[in-house]
Copies of this chain bind each other. A is one copy, B any other.
Amino acid sequence: MDAKPLNKKRCWKPGTMIYPLPAVLVTCGQSVGESNMLTVAWVGTVNTDPAMCYISVRPERHSYDIIKRQMEFTINLTTADMARQTDWAGVRSGKEYDKWKETGLTPVPGVAVSCPYIDESPLSIECKVSAVVPLGSHHMFLAKVINVLADEQYIDSATDSFDLGKAGLMNYTHGHYYSQGEELGRFGFSVKKPRKG
């Protein structure tokens, strides 16, 4: 019997190595005129019911004060087509640039929050902050999801289901952006009995 070749592991410096992550564009501000966007990978879901999420932001970032004052933000998912704009919004500051103008992305007035959302994003998630948790370099904004804006083109009108897999989302892995690859299976596929032919 062949022995399975096992990994040889080395202790590495403690760091932020959980990947792949979404690189979302967070929008904030009371109106399109005073709004900003920033790129965030320290983002995720923390609770299913009620739907809650978080973003972690450095206090020195231009959007930090806006979000803390407004206690609202919108998470806009990003696609491979938006990679350059997403990277740019993460490198540059809203203190120096009008990011809407520079990226060419289109602001649309929010529905359940005042922040505008990004029209080019396949899905925008409107959030209200429930707690701000200082952790060190970053402060975590814990938030409730109060509305989701979904691009009609990914909604199957027959089943009224949303197919996010078709949106071509990109991911961020340890300093690099990647497109979505091939589908490996659907949740639960490992226990599904094959259909009789």
Assess whether B178 is in contact with A182, with CB atoms less than 8 Å apart.
yes
Assess whether A22 is in contact with B12, with CB atoms less than 8 Å apart.
no
Q: How far is the CA of A8 from the CA of B155 in the complex (A)?
A: 11
Query: With A42-B44, A184-B80 in contact, do A13 and B148 touch (Cβ < 8 Å)?
Result: yes
A46, A83, A175 pick with most chain B CB within 10 angstroms: A46
- Chain B CB within 8 A of A158 CB: no
Residues of A166-186 whose CB lies within 8 A of B: 169-186
Contact of A20 among B20, B108, B185 (CB under 8 A): B20
- Chain B CB within 8 A of A125 CB: yes
- Chain B CB within 8 A of A156 CB: no
Assess whether B180 is in contact with A12, with CB atoms less than 8 Å apart.
no
| A190 neighbours in B (Cβ, 8 Å) | 84-85, 87-88, 91
- From A164, which residue of chain B is reached at the shortest CB distance? B174
Digitize A68-94: 1 where CB-to-B-CB distance is under 8 Å, 0 elsewhere. 000000010100100111011011100
Assess whether A77 is in contact with B150, with CB atoms less than 8 Å apart.
no
Which of A's residues lie within 8 Å of B, judged by CB?
4, 6-22, 24, 41-54, 56, 75, 77, 80, 83-85, 87-88, 90-92, 106, 108, 111, 117, 119-125, 135-138, 140, 144-153, 155, 162-165, 169-191
